[in-house]
Amino acid sequence: MANEADSDSKLSPEQKACVQELHNIAARIVEDCEVDDDEIAFISGWLERHTKHKDTWPISTLFALLQSIMEDGKVDQSERLQLMSVFSGLAIFAEKKSE
């Protein structure tokens, strides 16, 4: 994650705001330690509204994972755990960055 973190200084203000919003969303999702269907629908919609940033880390990571997960149209427990892992990492990264 160090390379991605270093690239943060190269982001436009709009990209930085979008990434910060994703960090905040991730922190809210991990609060109950599960990723439910409503949260998956919400983050899917959020990613659709922010497709112009789909190549910006960490949006790119989540975009690729969710695209892969949704290929079969259903989300199993293993995939929910993968999403929780990504959201947890984003929440922790944001927390450490704000210290």
For 4-66, give the DSSP string: HHHGGGGS-HHHHHHHHHHHHHHHHHHTTT---HHHHHHHHHHHHHTGGGTTSTTHHHHHHHH
Say if residue 13 is preceded by a cis peptide, omega within 30 of 0.
no
Q: Is the pTM of this model over 0.85?
A: no
* pLDDT one-digit tens code per residue, 47-96: 999 999 999 999 999 999 999 999 999 999 999 999 999 999 999 876 66
CA 47 from chain centre, in angstroms, equals 9
- Residue range 36-57: average pLDDT? 96
> Residue 68 in 3-state DSSP?
helix
CA–CA separation, 8 vs 79, rounded Å?
A: 28
